[in-house]
Structure 1
Amino acid sequence: MFTFLGGIILLIVGYFTYGKFVEKVFGVKEARTTPAYVNQDGVDYLPMGISKNSLIQLLNIAGVGPIFGPIMGALYGPVAFIWIVVGCIFAGAVHDYLTGMISIRNRGAHLPELAGKFLGKAMKHVVNGFAVLLLLLVGTVFVTSPAGLLHGLMNGWMAMGLILAAIFIYYILATLLPIDKIIGRFYPIFGALLIISAVGVGGGLVVTGADIPELTLENMHPAGAAIFPLLFLTISCGALSGFHATQSPIISRTTQNEKQGRKIFYGMMILEGIIAMIWAAAAMSLFNGPVGLNELLASGGPAAVVSEASKLMLGAIGGTLAILGVIILPITSGDTAFRSARMIIADYFNFSQKKIANRLIIALPLFVISFGLTKIDFTLLWRYFSWANQSTAVIALFVGAMFLYVAKKNYWIALVPGVFMLMATTTYILNAPIGFRLPLNVSYIGAAIVTILLTALFFKAARSARANQIPLEDDVSSFKAA
């Protein structure tokens, strides 16, 4: 229990200390007009209040990742708590903050455009394809997972196909309509339900004195369980997630003032880390250790753990409400995954999105492809999602490091976690069954070589970018805030 509660306290302290430090390094300009006013179009660009933006950001980034990921990461033991806390404070929240703030400085640009500007024009095309692929995987995973939970909650009385269809219909509406029509109106309510469910499960663990394992040198992780690189890809949302780099620009287009960025981007990632801590603790303590947890995962996947843990902690009624809170998470990330994919493709082809017909031209093919992907095994989809997700995080962190290097600021806050995750993702794809299937020792060596080479190329490109004084932001001096 001390490790669990101490980790949550550290996350909160991290927001007020390291979060403030990162904000100071970046250098907020309160007087600078944001894209919400400069590019206001009534669809994607429009100013919204900080409380609404914060809750939307939380629901955008908190899909099943901070629940399913920590549940599966719990198999590695209490070391999962270390990655959630350290990863969230020094990697994930930094990643989200820099992505959101750099986007604000560049017309609300999405990651492919930012990668093209700061990492070279060729990277724009690479990252564009990579980001759309990731968002399709996210959207599909976040269709099948809530559909499975709903199917179980209804005891199977509604056909799985009908549930999938209903979720897709909602996604289509949320993707096409202006952001304030559905997302802006209902997300604050959904956000309250999410927080209540997480507090309910977490409070239940404390009140009942759940046997949450403590972190010790002997108890760090099960014997024979190699934590690198698998742990750092299994627990993504809740510690570090590249998916967030596709979501932060959505809210960068509705943020009223740069000063609000720390609460919206850094703060909501910290809150997601707390949610991850709660579900990791529940998975570790309620099912008779790793053996029992593994059996439950094998029989029903992470959704079964969510259902059982919720009912154990909160009873039938409270457990049902908690499960509904968990169902909302992927749904409210799936819709913005498709929305983000639409916006990225529109930006890439410079295709105006003011008319709903233009939005349909891009969105409908995305939904058709995603529906086809729902026929693929969820476990396989999750593996590809995990690798694509963390690889996107690497790109976003290197974009942040380049921005800070050119600005002659402390770029190490982004480069260090970026290099670490580059090593982890490269090791994974060289070793994994979905990758090159090389022996683990060979994968370590290959990943180290790739990491050293790409880091050297980063410094070479960074020195050139600084010498050429590439512009760090768009000139909005001729605009006035509304």
Structure 2
Amino acid sequence: MITFCIALLLLVAGYFVYGALVEKVFGVNPGRQTPAYTSTDGIDYIPMPTWRVFLIQFLNIAGLGPIFGAIMGILYGPSAYLWIVFGTIFGGAVHDYLSGMLSVRRNGASLPELVGDELGSGVKQVMRIFSLLLMILVGAVFVVNPANLLDLLTGENTTTTMWTAIIFGYYILATLLPIDKLIGRLYPLFGFALLFMAIGIMISLFLRPDSLPEFHEAIGYTRPDSDVNPIFPMMFISIACGAISGFHATQSPMMARCLKNEKMGRRVFYGAMVVEGIVALIWAAAAIAFFNGSFDALSEFLKGKTPAILVNDISVGWLGTFGGILAMLGVIAAPITSGDTALRSARLIAADFLHIPQKKIRNRLLVSIPIFILAWLVMMIDFEVLWRYFAWCNQTLAVFTLWALTVWLAKEHKCYWLTLIPALFMTMVTVTYIFFAQEGFRLSYSVSLGIAVFVTLLLSFLFIRFLRTLSKRVSIKR
């Protein structure tokens, strides 16, 4: 339990200490008008209270990742705690804050436009397609799973197909209506359910202090199948949204268009990521505590079962029937509140690069209908396949974002090491994964790792060359 408490305190301290440092490096300007005021349109650009913007941002990014991903990640042992804590503080929260604030500075521009401005027009075109596909993939993934959970809760009187249709219908409305009409009003209710779930499970953990192994007691643990699931890169792909996630940077521009003042950016973007890290930490700890500290028992339980079954067992077993239902509703709300904004984000991304104004409903339908059709078709694919590709695409998007932020910081003569180190690390993770994993090229581990080292060194060389070119330009201007 001491390990869990230290990890929890480190996450909170990270917000106040490292978050303040990142904010200082960015250089907020409280007197600068935000896009919510300069581009108000009553649809996407709407000034909203900071507490509401924070809650929407948190629910946007806190899908199934920090719950399911954390449960799968703890199978690698207590190292998962380290990744959640340090990945959140030095990777995910920095990634979310800087991408969100850069969008604020650029009139709420969507992620492909931000990345393309820094890495070139060719990358911009790739990012437009890649981001759109990821948003559609997220929308599809986050329809199927909550539909299955709702069917599990409601019994024989309903079907998964019925819940799928209801959730997808809600996604359509959330994509098309002004952000303050549906999302802005429902999210406080969803937020209550999700926060109740996290707080309830955390209190239950404190009532079972002996069920959590300390870090030093399990440091030598390795998965039984570590030959096909080595800790690097698999754990860093499994725990994505609870540490660092490229998906978050696609969501931040929505809130960049609603933020009233730049000084609230750390609370909204960095803070929401830290809260998500806390949620991931709670569920990672809960998963192992439920089996009295036995990693092998957890691994055996999850064979052939989805983490949703374990979430249900923990919720009902620890919180009782009523508390379990509320907790499960929180788990259901998490993916729904990411799926709806994923499709909304897809509309904004497409509208940005097609230059179609979104004030008129006719234009929103023009952009959205093809997105809805594609999302429905993607839902026909097996969920397990969808989830695996989502995880890799998610982290790859983070790599593009981190490199773009690194280039921007260098251009602005700011401390680019804040994003360079996470960019290098995540490049190693994603390249190793795609060449080694079953859904990738299935090469040997040593070859995959070698390719990742080569790609990382190549990008490092290109960045050093960019810095030299940048330095020469500055010298010429002087």
Same fold (TM over 0.5): yes
Deviation digits for residues 131-152 of structure 1 (CA, Å, limit 9, x no counterpart)? 1111111111111111111111
> Matches of residues 152-231 of structure 1 in structure 2 within 5 Å?
152-209=152-209, 211-216=211-216, 219-222=219-222, 225=226, 226-231=230-235
In 1, Cα distance between the equivalents of 2:288 and 2:170?
A: 34
Is the aligned partner of 1:266 residue 2:278?
no
2:76–2:231 contact (8 Å) kept in structure 1 = yes
Per the alignment, residue 131 of structure 1 pairs with 131
1:32-81 CA-partner distances (Å, limit 9, x unpaired): 11111111111111111110000000000000011010011111111100
* Secondary structure of the corresponding residue to residue 216 of structure 2: coil
Match of 1:276 in 2: 280
Matches within 5 A, 1:282-431: 282-287=286-291, 289-431=294-436
Alignment CA distance shift 1:109-1:463 (3 Å): farther
Letter in 2 for 1:92: G
Percent same amino acid among aligned pairs? 51
Question: 1:12 matched to which residue of 2?
Answer: 12
- Residues 448-457 or 85-94, more deviating: 448-457
The 8 Å contact of residues 73 and 234 in structure 1, kept in 2 or not, is answered as yes
**Matches of residues 41-190 of structure 1 in structure 2 within 5 Å?**
41-190=41-190
Per-residue deviation at 1:447? Answer: 0.7
In structure 2, distance between residues paired with 1:211 and 1:284: 8
CA distance in structure 2 between the partners assigned to 1:132 and 1:142 by the alignment: 15
Change (3 A) 1:198 1:428: same
d(CA) in 2 for partners of 1:452, 1:63: 33
For these two proteins, the number of residue pairs brought into alignment is 469
> Aligned in 2, Cα 1:163/1:406: closer, same or farther, shift over 3 Å?
same
One-letter amino acid of the counterpart of residue 181, structure 2:
K
Report the CA distance shift for 1:462/1:129 in structure 2 as closer, same or farther (over 3 A): farther
Of the structure 1 ranges 40-49 and 452-461, higher mean CA displacement relative to structure 2 is found in 452-461
Q: 8 Å contact 2:77–2:218 — kept in the other structure? A: no
What displacement does 1:115 show?
1.2
Q: For residues 260 and 327 of structure 1, what CA distance do their matches in structure 2 show?
A: 29
Cα drift, residue 183 of structure 1: 0.9
* Superimposed CA distance per residue, residues 305-350 of structure 1 (whole angstroms, 9 cap, x where no aligned partner): 1101111110111011000011000000000000000000000110
Change (3 A) 1:390 1:23: same
Residue 241 of structure 2 is matched in structure 1 by 237
Moved more, 246-255 or 282-291: 282-291
Counterpart for residue 254 of structure 1? 258
The one-letter amino acid paired with 1:322 is: A
Residue 155 of structure 1 deviates from its aligned partner by 2.3
Mapped contact 1:88–1:273 kept (Cα < 8 A): yes
Q: What is the CA-CA distance between 1:121 and the residue it aligns to? A: 1.2
Closer, same or farther in 2 for the Cα pair 1:465/1:38, shift >3 Å?
farther
Q: Which runs of 5+ in 2 are unaligned?
A: none
> Root-mean-square deviation (CA), in Å?
1.4
Contact 1:79 1:221 in 2 (8 A): no
CA distance in 2, matches of 1:210, 1:299: 28
Task: Tell me the secondary structure at the aligned position of residue 262 of structure 1.
Answer: helix
Q: Work out the CA distance in 2 between the residues paired with 1:388 and 1:368.
A: 21
Q: Are the equivalent residues in 2 in contact too, given 1:296–1:304 (CA < 8 A)?
A: no
Distance (whole Å) between structure 1 residues aligned to residue 197 and residue 367 of structure 2: 35
Query: Distance in 2 between the 1:209 and 1:466 partners?
Result: 55
Of residues 58-67 and 152-161 in structure 1, the stretch that sits farther from structure 2 once superposed is 152-161
Structure 2 counterpart of 1:438, one-letter code: L
Specify whether residues 55 and 368 from structure 1 end up closer, same or farther in structure 2 by C-alpha distance, changes over 3 A only.
same
User: In structure 1, how many angstroms separate the alpha carbons of the residues matched to 2:279 and 2:197?
Assistant: 10
Task: Give the conservation status (yes or no) of the 8 Å contact 1:346–1:353.
Answer: yes
1:420 and 1:19, CA in 2 relative to 1: closer, same or farther beyond 3 A? same
TM-score (norm: length of structure 2): 0.95
Q: What TM-score results when the alignment is normalised by the length of structure 1?
A: 0.95
Q: Which amino acid aligns with 1:278?
A: I
Cα distance in structure 2, aligned partners of 1:24 and 1:383: 37
2:446 aligned with 1:441: yes
Q: Report the Cα distance in structure 1 between the residues aligned to 2:387 and 2:274, rounded to whole angstroms.
A: 23
SS of structure 2 residue aligned to 1:375: coil
- Deviation for aligned residue 1:262: 0.4
Change (3 A) 1:341 1:461: farther
